[in-house]
Amino acid sequence: MSGHLRITLRRSPIGSTPRQRQVLRGLGLRRIDSSVLRQDDPAIRGMVAKVAHLVRVETIAGPEGGRP
């Protein structure tokens, strides 16, 4: 996997489990419509899978060996 993921918080974490809120905090998402850019790797993909119902994910393909 190469490139980056833009992860945007779309729904409120109110009513979600404490574990899901911890995952959102680990991703760096705090407010609705806030976005973060993260490296596309299996650890981040696993975190996104746990909160998929709360976030929107976009794949950003950057140049090889460089930053997007």
Domain 4-60 carries which CATH code?
Answer: 3.30.1390.20
CA atoms of 10 and 58, how far apart (whole Å): 13
Q: What is the pLDDT of residues 4-58, one digit of tens each?
A: 999 999 999 999 999 999 999 999 999 999 999 999 999 999 999 999 999 999 9
pLDDT at 61: 84
Domain edges within the chain: 4-60
Cβ-based neighbours of 14, under 8 Å, separated by 6 or more: none
- In sign, the C-alpha dihedral spanning 9, 10, 12, 16 is negative
Q: Enter the pTM of the model.
A: 0.85
